[in-house]
Copies of this chain bind each other. A is one copy, B any other.
Amino acid sequence: MAIDRLDGRLIELLAQEPRIGVLEASRRLGVARGTVQARLDRLQAQGVIRGFGPDVDPAALGYPVTAFATLEIKQGQGSDVRTHLATVPEVLELHTITGHGDMLCRLVARSNADLQRVIDRVVGFEGIVRASTAIVMENAVPLRIIPLVRAASDG
């Protein structure tokens, strides 16, 4: 189940230089090409590596404002709220969290003013009782995974 040292180094290498191929990776890691290929296949089969999709920056798309909204949901309306929020493009992710029918969602907007429009659309749904929004001022630690990979592979 867990990944070993070589898996960890492979993931790190791919994260740092995504453009290198299997052959180049095998050279860098000092192992055979087939080994890298087998590891990659296994990591993807296990679901450790979900894919290699493009990493898109919302700010560069014109949405420089990020916010987190905590939503209080009316009993039994969770499913409807999920469906509703999934239709809002500015909702980048949504979690149900511990607490009395609470959800947490990540939003982006074109500006602070535009955030009002987004929030109105988000909470404009009968199942949502209350919403509390926190605007992100600085992304001190951008979403990262490498340190965790190191920890998981006892690197």
Spell out A's residues near B (CB within 8 Å).
1-3, 11, 14-15, 18-19, 46-63, 66, 68, 82, 85-86, 88-99, 102-106, 108, 134-145, 147-152
Contacts and interface: CB of A to CB of B under 8 A. Distances in A.
Contacts of A66: 95
A29 to B, nearest CB: 15
Nearest to A105: B141
A46 B126 CA distance: 40
B18 A52 contact: yes
A121 to B, nearest CB: 12
Contacts of A134: 97-99, 102, 104
Among A11, A141, A143, residue most surrounded by chain B Cβ atoms (within 10 Å)? A141
A55 B14 CA distance: 10
Work out how many copies of this chain go into the complex. 2
A57 to B, nearest CB: 5
B52 A52 contact: yes
Contacts of A92: 141, 143-145, 148
A97 B104 CA distance: 15
A106 to B, nearest CB: 8
A18 to B, nearest CB: 4
A48 B150 CA distance: 28
Contacts of A63: 148, 152
Contacts of A106: 143
Given A92-B143, A93-B142, A99-B134, A148 B61 contact: yes
A152 B61 contact: yes
